[in-house]
Amino acid sequence: MLTSTKTHPTLAIVELMRVLVDEEDVPWDTAWTIVTNTFFFTNHTVLPEALEKWAVPLMEHLLPRHMQIIYDINMLFLTCAIALSVTDMIFTDILDIAVEKKFPGDREKLARMSLIEEGFPKQVRMANLAVIGSRKVNGVAELHSQLVRSMIFPDFVEFYGQSKFSNVTNGITPRRWLDQCNPGLSDLITKTLNLPKDVWLKDLYKLEGLLDHVDDPLLQKRWEFVKRYNKERLAMFVEKLMGVKVDANAMFDVQIKRLHEYKRQTLNILGVIHRYLKIKKMKPAERKKVNKKVVFFAGKAAPAYHIAKLTIRLIVNVARIINKDPDTNQYLSLFFLPDYSVSLAEILIPASDISQHISTAGTEAEAHGRISANVARRSLVPFARSNTKFAYVPGGPIYPGSVNDPTTFPPPSKTHGSYHWAFERLLSAGLVPLTAAAFVTSGTSAPLLDGILGFDTILVDYLHERKFPVLGKVAKWGLRTATVGVLIGVYQFNTNDIGLTELIRGVWTA
């Protein structure tokens, strides 16, 4: 049994077929039955970049035998009888069916389901190959799995039936993302619940016991002490790495994501620019009333992703201006932390007061970062339409400003008020300064502006300014929102333990 995560390893299907047929002299139908009962395909995103297409001329040049096998699989799948992978299939089953036989005369469907995409040059659709060559296909979140069935592979769902496609919600391990990266919080939870650590780490439902202690002033004080320690640890790390002192008394606003337009780091940095300009215009007496904020970005850009690299450059340029401005730098500072890694995330997440998850709706398949942020810190996950999966805790209390606040999620359209709010406010106060030499280097602003104005979902549904409590009064609010976050983890998310169990029972042995 082998699980293919995304389409990168899909060629293994063809390689196993080659080994069985060419080297082991296994008959084709028998070999295909073995192959389609060996592989399982996990799709992680609905974005085209993860649904690879490889040029046929390149494949024919580098792997001529593999390309020949792909042609054979495609012909048999589309037009002839072949052993196909279905969920109730055993090794001896042969399914006498083909796309052309099941959908006679539907040439468009035949073209969509083909492994070869016509064009110049022709392309091998690795995602289609992964579906055809796998026993089961699963998404990694309920909404994402629905999109996989309805948007990416609807023809294959119609062909194979719903049973081949399932959902296994991805999870994280609390042993790493709570106990290891935030030992102070882990110890506090252990003492508060009066349970051995191994007990609640293996059964997160035990965290419901925290609800009985939310209003305990002593627990609030200890909770705040743990948060303070984590923030000071991050401040020391930044000072050592970048030579800049960070005010641990400020609110830490963190976005750690792979750099991508749909993850909307651009939207976030526009918000930072807007905040900077707003503070800059204030009188000294007015600035003293502003909540201090330190904004952190971290993440990596794909080597060939030009816009993502320009976004990093923009963030760095904005940070250079903001951090050197004596009028504002004690109220707002900005950092892009280089060389993002899991080790860096283990420092950033426990220290965050706000964790930004603002991807456009329907694009964020997984919830690793959001789950990690929920269990490892005390605060909130800001609103994003992609976060609707875990917006509510069944029967739980409601705390304003937290993910449990039952605000509706309007559709991301140009007619919605938040769209106009974003453009009116951000175009005037955020985008315009992008053309100024102070914020950008040559060649940075034009591509970013063109991308934003041509791809409006980067800006829609921008979170309105919410009146978060000042840090001096945040202990109780932080503890309450953290409790909500923990309960969201209990009710809406899987740990890796649960996810692996579901894979074993519902996919691998089904």
List the beta strands (DSSP E) in 96-193: 116-117, 123-125, 136-139, 165-167, 171-172
Q: Are 398 and 477 in contact (CB under 8 A)?
A: no
What are the φ and ψ backbone dihedral angles of 125, each rounded to 5 degrees? -85, 100
Contact 115/70 with Cβ under 8 angstroms? yes
Please name which of 208, 314, 215 lies closest in space to residue 261, comparing C-alpha atoms: 314
Q: Are 364 and 357 in contact (CB under 8 A)?
A: yes
Q: What are phi and psi of 86, to 5 degrees?
A: -130, 160
88 burial level (CB within 10 Å; 0-12, 13-18, 19+): exposed
Q: What are phi and psi of 501, to 5 degrees?
A: -60, -45
Give CA–CA dist 241/335, Å, rounded: 11
Of 466, 239, 437, nearest to 333 by C-alpha is 239
* 462 is known to lie in a ligand binding site: yes
Distance (Å, rounded) from C-alpha 314 to C-alpha 298?
13
Report which secondary-structure segment, H or E, holds 39.
strand 39-42
CA distance 11 to 46: 20
| Binding site members for a ubiquinone | 462
Annotated binding site: 462
